[in-house]
Structure 1
Amino acid sequence: MAKNVNQSKQYRIYLKSTKEWVEVPEEFYREQTRYYDTFRHRMQEHGQCSCPKSKFWLCDGDCLTCEFRCAGDMLSLDYETENDSGDTCSMLDSIPDTAPLAADIIADKLLLEQLVQRLHELDPDAGLILQLLKDEKSDRAIAEALGRPQRTFAHQMKRYRDELRNIRGY
């Protein structure tokens, strides 16, 4: 008899938005309960949730509108505080900007133009070499396309690279 009672057990979840109970399959009930229990425990560890055990069924993961929400130990990045000198600052002020400076971009562009110009001075086939390097061809394939012996081309490329490194400064 107990077996029949367990099979007929109804699984229900409460929808706060409509304020009603909805019957769901056991698999969905267990999945949702596990997800929200994990979420609530994480928020409780950070002091952001003070939901009593008798009200766990109300948890829908929307902590911003929950009546049991606490401030906790996690602040927004734009939360402003005063420093020692009396100025207001936020955590966003302490995040470094990783974007390259315009001056660095311009300097790199000028250096690249200078290197390409010097390569054209060193080798009359520089345009073809650059195109094949752009297409990720090997030194052997480039030498074959230029009609040069592979070892000769490799020696020339070593010389070119040394010359271009001298222009770069290292």
Structure 2
Amino acid sequence: MKNKDNTQKTKQYYIYLPNTKQRIPVTKEIYLEYYRPIWRQFKRARAHGQCSCPGHWWWKCEGDCVTCKYQNAGDKLSLEYEKEILGDIHPDPESDVESIVTDKIIFEQLLKRLDEILPEARRIGELRLAGIPDRDIADIIGIPRSTFRSRLKKAEAQLKKEYGDIF
């Protein structure tokens, strides 16, 4: 028969120190007191998609997601920290200065032409952005709804003819 003392192995507990990359042996009580808050933070961050740390490296987790290299934005975006995360910045390959200036000039010409064709166009746009239906917009401008719709269609057709590639 085997002796119970020989079959029961005592478990050794360690605390990992990342700055020295060493594992320090500690008692179970100290181990649990040290790692419970870290486990709580680790599980919460993983549940919200804020941590991409491989699960088998949980013992390397320090519980400080702000400085962790495995940090993700997750489902909660915060303006509290200004740290850039990989994948946050995507440079636009077509964003040269010349095309931006050209687009701005064309947009200004388009708005100027729209003001010539339909002087109340800006007011109509503001009212539509406010969620007001066309019937009420026609009443606010002081014209019948059918006239309002025909003017919009005429202005749209004219702008499509002049700015077909943009409009």
TM-score range, shorter chain: 0.3 to 0.5
Q: Whose helix proportion is higher, 1 or 2?
A: 1
TM-score (norm 1): 0.47
TM-score (norm 2): 0.48
